[in-house]
């Protein structure tokens, strides 16, 4: 590892790129502490500390929401826009054709994603402020005028666009994905505060619980690395053919199928589904119609039941894993590309049989990935009663994001080092 650091330090352009990325992440953290004018941040922090749902959302923003900062939405609207465009590419023939036009098509889709981010950010900013106002019974935002509403939404939307721009600047340096690193930074920055709170509340009776907590955390990280890096290699051979007087082809390689093909997207989908019913129910708690108010309260009580929450969360993640994998993994397209390039899977005929074979293999290995993501999602609910440590909880989703982003960043840095290593050539 020390040799790696020495190589990075000796490569001046790579060293400068890493410092550049770190500087942009520092800018992000500074922006996360700049509050929107006209909001009582102290009351807002107290309200977040007593709300589990909003506390979960605040975790992914790195505390930017409880500060009501100019970047309180983080890169959430941009991620939502990216997911919507990915789904539309599968549905709209024009977008599907555009995605196949190489670099030009990808640039156009990226441009559409940026444009879609603007209205989504404005809509989420308005919805978030309205929900906070209703749940706090008007105590947090009772004095906002129409002009303050407008300027607040514009400022928060601009903050999201600013983070999107920072993410693209980071990505251009090929030191990890910019959006992922921003989310990574937001999650990691909450760790020192959690350790501090644990140290303050620590006593001798917590030693065993703390040891159990650390062991579970280490096992969870090891499992995430194992599943994230896990692949099923499908052997692929390319037929030999003549080009002029040269023989081309005859190469044997493999097609890697990842166990966790969908990444963390199914968990994000599941969180959206789980948060939606209780948030909507908040609007109807004060209804004059008794059965509507009772139904809203019953909905909130059901989703606050830890057993129901864990089971429903697991099922949603499991189903969304299969759904999203079917969206991004297209065996028919892979089979067509192999056939065009003269490749085939030994023992499998090209075309439809290859597509059916790849689909069958993926359906089998994705089962392990779906169960893994489901367990990771409900991990805090399972671990909290076991350890009894309230100041630090293992957020399975947070760990999954942190470990995945760290692995991706290390791989990209290794690739940069290999490009600069001419020894042996």
The Cα 391–Cα 409 span in angstroms is: 29
Domains of the chain by range and CATH?
A: 1-189 (1.10.3370.10), 204-394 (1.10.3370.10)
Token pair of 390 as six digits: 């309230």
H helices of 92-172, in order, are 93-99, 102-135, 146-172
Residue partners of 84: CB distance under 8 A and separation at least 6: 116
End-to-end Cα spacing for the chain: 23
C-alpha dihedral sign at 231, 234, 237, 238 = negative
* Per-position DSSP letters for 304-357, written without gaps between them: H-HHHHHHHHHHHHHHHHHHHHHHH--HHHHHHHHHHTTEE-TTS-TTHHHHHH
Angle between helices 396-419 and 207-229 (to 10 degrees): 50
Name the 3-class secondary structure at 16.
Answer: helix
pLDDT in tens, the chain (425 residues): 677 777 777 778 888 888 998 999 999 988 888 888 766 666 666 665 555 555 556 655 656 666 778 888 888 888 888 888 877 887 888 888 887 777 788 888 889 999 999 998 898 888 777 777 766 665 666 666 778 888 888 998 999 999 999 988 998 888 888 888 888 888 888 777 777 777 777 677 677 777 877 788 888 888 888 888 888 888 888 776 555 566 555 677 888 888 888 777 787 777 777 777 777 777 777 777 888 888 888 887 887 777 888 888 888 888 888 888 887 788 888 888 888 877 888 888 888 888 888 888 888 888 888 888 888 878 777 776 666 665 555 566 777 778 888 888 888 888 877 776 654 44
Among 70, 80, 38, CA closest to 158: 70
Residues facing 238 on adjacent strands = 343
Residue for token pair 């002009």 = 147
- Collect all residues with Cβ–Cβ distance below 8 Å to 225 and sequence separation of at least 6: 403, 407
DSSP collapsed to 3 states, 162-226: HHHHHHHHHHHCCCCCHHHHHHHHHHHCCHHHHHHHHHHHCCHHHHHHHHHHHHHHHHHHHHHHH
- Residues 6 or more apart in contact with residue 299 via CB below 8 angstroms: 277, 278, 281
What pLDDT is recorded for position 45?
62
- Which SS3 state, helix, strand or coil, does residue 302 take? helix
The C-alpha atoms of residue 34 and residue 156 are separated, in whole angstroms, by 11
Q: Are 187 and 402 a contacting pair, CB within 8 Å? A: yes
Distance CA 81, CA 129 (A): 20
Q: Which DSSP string do the residues of 233-252 spell out, in sequence order?
A: EEEEEE--EEETTEEE---E
Residue pair 321/366 in contact (Cβ under 8 Å)? The answer is yes
Q: State the pLDDT at residue 349.
A: 85
pLDDT score, position 34: 84
Q: Sign of dihedral through CA atoms 270, 271, 274, 279?
A: negative
């Amino acid at each position: 590892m020390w040799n790696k650091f020495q190589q990075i330090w000796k490569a001046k352009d790579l060293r400068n790129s890493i410092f550049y990325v770190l500087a942009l992440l520092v800018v992000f953290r500074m922006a996360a502490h700049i509050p929107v004018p006209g909001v009582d941040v102290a009351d807002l922090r107290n309200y977040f500390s007593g709300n589990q749902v909003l506390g979960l959302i605040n975790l992914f923003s790195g505390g930017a929401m409880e500060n009501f900062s100019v970047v309180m939405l983080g890169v959430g609207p941009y991620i939502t826009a990216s997911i919507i465009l990915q789904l539309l590419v599968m549905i709209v023939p024009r977008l599907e054709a555009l995605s196949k036009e190489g670099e030009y098509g990808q640039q156009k889709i990226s441009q559409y994603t940026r444009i879609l981010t603007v209205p989504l950010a404005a809509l989420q900013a308005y919805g978030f402020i309205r929900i906070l106002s209703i749940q706090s019974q008007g105590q947090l935002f009772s004095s906002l005028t129409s002009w303050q509403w407008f300027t607040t939404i514009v400022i928060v939307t601009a903050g999201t666009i600013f983070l999107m721009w920072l993410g693209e600047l980071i990505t251009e340096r090929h030191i990890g994905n910019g959006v992922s690193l921003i989310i990574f930074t937001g999650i990691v920055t909450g760790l020192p505060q959690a350790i501090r709170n644990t140290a303050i509340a620590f006593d001798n009776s917590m030693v065993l619980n703390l040891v159990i907590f650390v062991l579970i955390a280490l096992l969870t990280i090891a499992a995430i690395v194992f599943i994230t890096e896990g692949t099923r290699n499908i052997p692929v051979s390319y037929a030999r053919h003549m080009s002029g007087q040269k023989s081309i082809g005859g190469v044997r390689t493999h097609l890697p199928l990842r166990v966790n093909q969908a990444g963390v997207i199914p968990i994000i989908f599941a969180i959206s589904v789980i948060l939606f019913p209780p948030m909507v129910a908040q609007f109807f708690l004060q209804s004059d119609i008794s059965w509507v108010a009772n139904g809203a309260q019953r909905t909130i009580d059901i989703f606050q039941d830890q057993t129901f929450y864990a089971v429903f969360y697991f099922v949603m993640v499991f189903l969304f894993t299969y759904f999203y994998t079917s969206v991004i993994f297209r065996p028919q397209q892979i089979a067509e590309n192999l056939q065009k390039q003269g490749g085939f899977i030994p023992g499998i005929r090209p075309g439809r049989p290859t597509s059916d074979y790849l689909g069958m293999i993926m359906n089998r290995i994705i089962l392990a990935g779906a169960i893994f993501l489901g367990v990771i999602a409900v991990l805090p609910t399972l671990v909290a009663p076991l350890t009894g440590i309230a100041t630090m909880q293992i957020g399975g989703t947070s760990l999954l994001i942190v470990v995945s982003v760290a692995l991706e960043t290390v791989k990209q840095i290794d690739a940069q080092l290999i490009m600069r290593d001419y020894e042996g050539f």
